[in-house]
Structure 1
Amino acid sequence: MIEILKNKMTPESILTAGFGVEREGLRVTPQGRLALTPHPPIFGDKLKNPYITTDFSESQIELVTPVFYSVDETYDFLEALTDIVIGEIGVNNELFWPYSMPCSIPDDNQIPIASYQGEEGKKARAYREKLMVKYGGKRQLISGIHYNFSFGEEFLTTIWQELGTQESYKDFKDRIYLKVLRNFLRYRWLIIYLMGCTPGLHNSYIEECLQCMGDCGNETYLSPGGTSARNGSCSGYKNEIDLYPDYSSIKDYIRSINEFVERGDISEAKELYAQIRLKPKDYKNVLDSLAAEGIQYLEIRTIDLNVFDKCGIAKIDLDFMNIFMLFLLLEGEEFFDTWQQEALINEVAVAEHGLEPDLELLDHRHWTLKSAWAEDILEKVAEVNEYLDLKQDRCIKEMQNRVRQPETTYAHRLKLLMQQKGCLDANLEMAKAYKKQSDADHYRLKGFENWEMSTQVLIKEALTRGIKVIPMDASDNIVRLEKDGRREYVKQATKTSADNYVTPLLMENKVVTKKILQENGLPVPDGEEYFSFMEAKQKLTKYVGNKVVIKPKSTNFGLGICIFDQGGTLEELLEGARIAFEHDNTILIEDYIPGLEYRFLTMGDEVVAVLHRRPANVVGDGVSTIQQLIDEKNKHPYRGDGHTSPLKKIELDDQAQMFLKKQGLSNQSIPAKGKMVLLRGNSNISTGGDSVDFTDQMHPYFSEIALKAARAFGAKFCGIDIILEDYRNPDSNYGIIELNFNPMIVMHAYPYEGQERRLGYNILKTIGLVD
């Protein structure tokens, strides 16, 4: 088989497989006690949210990635979900417990079993109530990583066709996956050693399990040489008796499971707590679906949560699992009656004594040194990697290092921390660090960093609320959203089916916009338009000394705008016209309206946010030049290119240089301490301005004006720019200077100053995907 791969496939196609990760975790208080609050309602119906749900308890969150075909995509999406959960539960001052074994937990009768809606929900609840009686609640709170794997279709079909077998493709796939499963069971002890990360227990866990470990104080019990209490004989979550299904064929497997059910060993197929499971197409009818459609993928349940990684599993471990699955397919097999019993003995031995240097395991009925056997297996993996040129040296060397230096394993490292700080404090420290990390980067959605920020806001909200997100085109920022059988396509966050086609066409023409506003009794600045620089040269003389604004007719983001709030010379006005003509073949000159500019954001029939956009500026310290102050201000984490960050970095272009010159300044001037120097006349965020939230302070009169303007165009999504002298006084002078059909929402979502606004929700509400 390896020769087929070598001769018929590229290394990239060999490693292309279907990956998915399910990550369980407990919500805890800042003191490390189990949070007894309900599952956060923002995540919606537990049975319908495809990304964030619960497991056994209301307190136990489960994150589920879709299937991806690269490790990087899988990990990035898992990180996005992890950040979402950390952020949402943090609102209630809760933390995401990073450890597989439970935190400080109460008695069973206080552990909140997950509740669900509808008839399906009643069945899910009843099943969990039976588990509580049978296994106890404390074991049910154990969390871990479920690693879902399927070989790529090209991979499987190539082998099937090249082998020329007479069996059907379905039977061939079943045979492939069954072999991988059997070999995984044989070698699962190695994964427990390499990725085990549960060396101890908190003293609120089951008493009989605590007695199997040593009391090291700080409410903590540790296993001297153990790697994974979660996979051990006492502490772990296992069936009441050891069960050994027949994995010879799908037919034999189904027969053996039915026998377990008939004997009362388990109530149904999903109660078989195996280290690896065969997964069907229809989850509701596991055995029938396996018989009819065959094995769809394998679910590996061996891996502990890695407390040293925010996501619970390191990317390098996912890389290794990929090539390890390939090794399991290519590795030969030796059958004997008790091979499964032998594999279980090795599992428990490594879980409870894996860090002991002289540990021996059973290898085909013969005792062998664990470290030597591990080296041998990893050498075989390395040979596969080298022969097929898979370039996975890094992850293989990392695993070899963990074998040669046990002190580098997760279990050993965590054991040292728990000895020093105790189970609660060691893991709480990790949880708090991950919260701090997520909070600092909360505006950036992992895996979608190259999408514009407004679209990231929408995607994040959709994922949070369980609305399925299908990226369509990253370069054009188009996504498809799905919920309850309904589909909505959205471009750049606010271009949706809610608005008609003519609305943006009208708004992008500033002359037409002014006429429509005037027709609706709304004040706009007087002015005129020029169609050539020659025309501007002839007519601008009458505006010399007047307070005016010169801007392109049809651009957004403040491009090409020059403001002369103190009047301008003919030379300055002509320079403003030249700059405007660089962005459009028609320009406007308008009266300057005194006051401050505010952006009103409307969605549906409400103003959802108001923002004052302070022009690009710096505040002097009495020492630094304007250029140095700009460089320092540009280091703010919110500032970037303006599409993948909430704020734009300040640039001293021609317009800014001219604006400074009018103030008698240059980029080398040193402002006095505390003096604010404006760098531009226009206040757009896209030209380096500061965003200051005014939603709650703005007088409702002006919000009604903004709504009236949006309604004049039939716009469901609209940004209305209004100049106001006094935002608190409804009698204040004001004027509408611009409407935007695709308003930037990120500046409202993550303002430079003031309250952040949850605008992803408002978008989903406007297009009817949430109430």
Structure 2
Amino acid sequence: MIEILKNKMTPERILSAGVGLEREGLRVTPQGKLALTPHPSIFGDKLGNPYITTDFSESQVEIITPVFDSVDDAYHFLEALTDIVINEINENNELYWPYSMPCDIPEDEDIPIAEYQGEEGKKARAYREKLIKKYGGKRQLISGIHYNFSFSDDVLETLFRESGGELSYRDFKDKIYLKVLRNFLRYRWLIVFLLGCTPGLHGSYIEKCLACMEEVDSSETFLSQDGTSARNGSCSGYKNEIDLYPSYASVDEFIASIEEYIKRGDISEAKELYAQIRLKPKKFNDVLGSLKADGIQYLEIRTIDLNVFDKCGIAKVDLEFLNIFMLFLLLEGEESFDTWQQEALINEVKVAEHGLKADLELLDHRHWTLKTAWAEDILEKIAEINEYLDLKQDHCIEVMQNRLRNPQTTYAERLKQLMTEKGYLNANLELANEYRTDSVSRRYCLKGFEQWELSTQILIKEAITRGIKVTPMDAADNIIALEKDGHKEYVKQATKTSADTYITPLLMENKVVTKMILKENGIPVPAGEEFFSVDEARLKLPNYVGKKVVIKPKSTNFGLGICIYDRGGTIEELLEGARIAFAYDHTILIEAYVAGLEYRFLTMGDEVVAVLHRRAANVVGDGIHTVQALIDKKNEHPYRGDGYTSPLKKIKLDDQAQLFLKQQGISASTVPRPGELVYLRGNSNISTGGDSIDYTDKMHPRFSEIAMKAVRAFGAKFCGVDIIIEDYSNPESAFGIIELNFNPAIMMQAYPFEGKERRLGYNILKTIGLAD
């Protein structure tokens, strides 16, 4: 088989596989007690959200990634989901518990079982009520990582085609997965050692399980002397009442085994078999029937403890190793004997409970062998596969070899030392708080989508949070598909949707036409005229010398090419402004300058959803640094970046900015006085380095009504209305609409420099009919 892979496939094709991840985790209070609050309503229907749901309890959040063909993509999406959960539960001052074994938990009667809606919900609830009676609620709160794996169609079809056997493709695929499953059961002890991360229990856990460990101190910390994974041990873990050993010789024999267990009353249905690895069907609501009709679709590995040292619960290097480990399981031979499953279970428990003992022995085909020697042999075989197939997975293999040779670097030993020093609760709470700080600090960024415009990231994040299926279609054009309950919408750049007509942006991008339509609807606009050439500008601009005016391109966005003369300008300065404007359009406008501050009214549907004051790019003097040095320092703010992937933009001292400074009699080398506010340009666009300040709750409603009147004149559903107002709190104040913007960026209102953050992704979903 390895020769087929070597000769017929590239390393990249061999490693490509279907990888999906599920992570369970408890919501806890800042004190480490189980949060008894309901599952956050923002996540919607628990049975309908494909990304964020519950497991056994209302307090147990489960996050689920789609299937990806690379470890990197799966890990990044898991991190995105983890960030979403941490940020949402933080609103209720709760933490996402990073450890597989439970926090400080109450007795069974006080553990809130997950609530569901509808007929399917009743079945889900009834199943959980049976589990708590049969196994107890405390065991049900154990959490972990489920690693869903499938070989790529490319790999399976190549092996099938080259094998030349008599089996059908479906039967061949089943045979492949059954072999991998059997070998995983044989070698799962190695995963328990390498990834095990549950060396202790809290004093509120099951008493007979605590008796198997040593109480460290009065903080209710109980630790195993040399165990790696209480979750996979004989007492503390999540297991069936009796050990069950179904047949994995074929799909039919497996089904027959499960039916026999159900008939005997050992389990109530197929999913109650708490196996370390599961055969997964096409239809989840009929496991056995679907396996028989459609065959095995993928394998679900359930051995993996949450890794407390990674915010996502599993490190990327461990996922990389699991990927090549699955290949090893496919290529490794197998020797069958009657009690091989019993032997595999013995090895699992021994490593879970004593894996850190240097002289631990395991059963290998009925013979005792030193765990370290056997593990070295397996890792060496994996290294040989890696080298022979040129897979370039040296790093993850070396990491595992180092863990084996230096047990102090294993997750279990590291966590045991941490809990010895700080106590069970404090050790895990410190990590949970660290991950919360990280997630909150980068809440505007969606992991795995960093190259998408931030406005689109905001929409994607909101859709995922609310259980709306997101399909990225084109990152370069920021096009996504959103779908829920059969309703599908295509969206470009967050606010280009089917809700607006084709003509709307064409009208808005023409500033002359915009002014005409506004005027027709009784909305005041600044007076001005058009210039079609530099010669015409040179001829007419003397009429504007000394007057307060604005020169700008006829059709532009983001404040590009705009020069403001709020103190009047010389003929030379006006001509320079004309030159800058003509660089962006063949036609330019000169308009009367409207006194006051500029505000962006963001409208969606039939309402103003946010109002923002955009303060022009500026620096504040300290009496020491030059203007340029102050710009460099301000650009270090974490919100400031380049392009459209950050809430604020870096300030650039371009021609327009230098001209604006010159009008003030200063330059980039000037050292402003302490506290002196120096504006760097007349226009206040965020795209040119401005500051965003939320005024939604301060703005007088009259101006929001004016903004909506302007938007209705164009029939727009999404719009950014720029209004200059002398006094935002006075309904009689002078004002002037200077621009309407189709496809407005939303990141500056969602994450303002000052003021309240707004959930504008929700407003978009509501406007296009995907949210209530």
TM over 0.5: yes
Deviations 1:252-291, CA, capped at 9 Å, x for gaps? 1111111111111000110000000000000011011111
Partner SS state of residue 284, structure 1: helix
Q: CA deviation at 1:423?
A: 0.7
Distance in 2 separating the partners of 1:586 and 1:418: 70
Distance in 2 separating the partners of 1:442 and 1:462: 15
Partner residue in 2 for 1:727? 728
Partner SS state of residue 302, structure 1: strand
Partner residue in 2 for 1:518? 519
Partner residue in 2 for 1:699? 700
Partner residue in 2 for 1:352? 353
Partner residue in 1 for 2:504? 503
Partner residue in 1 for 2:672? 671
Deviations 1:219-278, CA, capped at 9 Å, x for gaps? 110000000000000000000000001000011111111111111100011000000000
Partner residue in 1 for 2:68? 68
Counterpart AA for 1:352? E
Distance in 2 separating the partners of 1:352 and 1:187: 16
Counterpart AA for 1:51? Y
Q: CA deviation at 1:413?
A: 0.1
| Conservation of the 8 A alpha-carbon contact between 1:552 and 1:581 | yes
| Conservation of the 8 A alpha-carbon contact between 1:642 and 1:649 | no
Deviations 1:578-620, CA, capped at 9 Å, x for gaps? 0001011111110000000000000011100000000000000
Distance in 1 separating the partners of 2:730 and 2:487: 44
1:274 equivalent to 2:289? Answer no
Q: Residues 518-667 of structure 1 correspond to what in structure 2 (within 5 A)? A: 518-667=519-668
Distance in 2 separating the partners of 1:317 and 1:532: 64
Deviations 1:140-170, CA, capped at 9 Å, x for gaps? 0000000000000000000100111111000
Counterpart AA for 1:155? V
Partner residue in 2 for 1:116? 116
Counterpart AA for 2:443? H
Partner residue in 2 for 1:213? 213
Q: CA deviation at 1:744?
A: 1.1
Counterpart AA for 1:72? D
Counterpart AA for 2:246? P
Partner SS state of residue 285, structure 1: helix
Partner residue in 1 for 2:186? 186
Deviations 1:352-382, CA, capped at 9 Å, x for gaps? 0000101000000000000110000000000
Partner residue in 1 for 2:320? 319
Distance in 2 separating the partners of 1:468 and 1:320: 30
1:15 equivalent to 2:27? Answer no
Deviations 1:47-100, CA, capped at 9 Å, x for gaps? 000000000000000000000000000000000000000000000000000000
Deviations 1:628-682, CA, capped at 9 Å, x for gaps? 1000000000000141101110000000001001111111100000010000000
Partner residue in 2 for 1:156? 156
Counterpart AA for 1:335? S
Counterpart AA for 2:24? E
Distance in 1 separating the partners of 2:166 and 2:545: 89
Deviations 1:29-55, CA, capped at 9 Å, x for gaps? 000000000000000000000000000
Partner residue in 2 for 1:466? 467
Q: CA deviation at 1:537?
A: 1.1
Partner residue in 2 for 1:142? 142
Partner residue in 2 for 1:175? 175
Partner SS state of residue 197, structure 2: coil
Q: Residues 387-466 of structure 1 correspond to what in structure 2 (within 5 A)? A: 387-466=388-467
Q: CA deviation at 1:693?
A: 0.4
Partner SS state of residue 645, structure 1: coil
Deviations 1:658-710, CA, capped at 9 Å, x for gaps? 10011111111000000100000000000000000000000001010001011
Distance in 1 separating the partners of 2:703 and 2:8: 68
Q: CA deviation at 1:19?
A: 0.2
Q: CA deviation at 1:326?
A: 0.1
Distance in 1 separating the partners of 2:586 and 2:68: 47
Partner SS state of residue 284, structure 2: coil
Q: CA deviation at 1:536?
A: 1.0
Aligned alpha-carbon RMSD (Å): 0.4
So what's the TM-score if we normalise by structure 1?
1.00
Distance in 2 separating the partners of 1:5 and 1:463: 38
| Conservation of the 8 A alpha-carbon contact between 1:26 and 1:61 | yes
Distance in 2 separating the partners of 1:605 and 1:710: 9
Partner residue in 1 for 2:126? 126
Partner SS state of residue 722, structure 2: strand
Distance in 1 separating the partners of 2:715 and 2:30: 49
Distance in 2 separating the partners of 1:614 and 1:380: 63
Counterpart AA for 2:214? G
Q: CA deviation at 1:539?
A: 1.2
Deviations 1:149-192, CA, capped at 9 Å, x for gaps? 00000000001001111110000000000000000000000000
Partner SS state of residue 122, structure 1: helix
Counterpart AA for 2:284? Y
Partner SS state of residue 549, structure 1: strand
Partner SS state of residue 222, structure 2: strand
Partner SS state of residue 728, structure 1: coil
Distance in 1 separating the partners of 2:276 and 2:148: 12
Counterpart AA for 2:109? N
Partner residue in 1 for 2:246? 245
Distance in 2 separating the partners of 1:436 and 1:568: 49
Partner residue in 2 for 1:749? 750
Partner residue in 1 for 2:43? 43
Counterpart AA for 2:730? N
1:684 equivalent to 2:685? Answer yes
Distance in 2 separating the partners of 1:587 and 1:80: 44
So what's the TM-score if we normalise by structure 2?
1.00
Counterpart AA for 2:149? F
Deviations 1:99-136, CA, capped at 9 Å, x for gaps? 00000000000000000000000000000000000000
Counterpart AA for 1:446? K
Distance in 2 separating the partners of 1:657 and 1:545: 19
Counterpart AA for 2:497? T
Distance in 2 separating the partners of 1:608 and 1:541: 42
Deviations 1:488-534, CA, capped at 9 Å, x for gaps? 00000000001111111100100000000000100110001111111
Identity %: 77
Deviations 1:312-352, CA, capped at 9 Å, x for gaps? 00000000000000000000000110000000000000000
Counterpart AA for 2:356? L
Partner SS state of residue 575, structure 2: helix
Distance in 2 separating the partners of 1:326 and 1:574: 70
Partner residue in 1 for 2:377? 376
